[in-house]
Homo-oligomer: A and B are copies of this chain.
């Protein structure tokens, strides 16, 4: 551990569009990522750093707080601020929206409804919803997402008509239920589960795969105002689809508070 370089020398030309605390965050992060400030390195106290950077303590606090939230720093009262130990190899990946994903790849998205049924809830619905929906009526759908008219994703969905006003009147012939629900249900929270499964014969035929080919299965359960809204299973050909993430250390963050 050689003597680390000193921060704070005002970089003469501030980059455009960056706030002061943004600049400080990037400056200190570069010290850490470059290894000049190794894990465990003790930073000067907030007031000192604020003086060196020529900002108020609150601005400095904002910058250090952000770096702590990102996982680069550990801050404790009395003992001060240290560079964090690199953590477990964890990360987060993003699950994109189907339409966006198709369109971003330069292809045209289309939804094709395969089946639509209004029926009483069953016990097996718990596979999609987590809990059994009871005996009240549910809306059950199956459909295929197409990219340039090629199979992209096979969708199986349950909708709670009580939570999604107008669902019973929607035929979803060409409108993806996910897109419709977006406008019909104000705000919701969802949980996700990602697995790998082998395509069944029926699924393989729909997705134009060989039977047994590996597929990525995403199950999303959506709730709003305390009631379930929808549960959906999305099946992607494993060869075609992948989840991607480009992230630093943090594997948390996000609005997990709700």
Contacts and interface: CB of A to CB of B under 8 A. Distances in A.
Contacts of A186: 32, 35, 38-39, 86
A256 interface: yes
Given A33-B224, A98-B89, A195-B216, A246 B242 contact: no
27 contacts: A29-B258, A32-B186, A33-B189, A70-B255, A86-B183, A86-B188, A88-B100, A89-B220, A90-B96, A91-B95, A92-B94, A93-B243, A94-B252, A96-B251, A187-B249, A191-B246, A192-B247, A193-B242, A194-B216, A195-B242, A196-B196, A196-B216, A196-B236, A196-B241, A198-B198, A253-B254, A254-B254
A214 interface: yes
A248 B189 contact: yes
Contacts of A95: 90-93, 245, 251
Contacts of A191: 244-247
A47 B244 CA distance: 41
A169 interface: no
Interface residues on A, range: 35 or more
A190 interface: yes
B254 A92 contact: yes
A204 interface: no
Interface in A141-183: 178, 182-183
B244 A255 contact: no
A82 to B, nearest CB: 13
Contacts of A89: 97-98, 178, 182, 190, 220
A72 interface: yes
Contact of A255 (B71, B99, B193): B71
A192 B38 contact: no
Given A195-B238, A216-B196, A247-B255, A90 B86 contact: no
A147 to B, nearest CB: 16
A173 to B, nearest CB: 20
B92 A242 contact: no
Contacts of A139: none
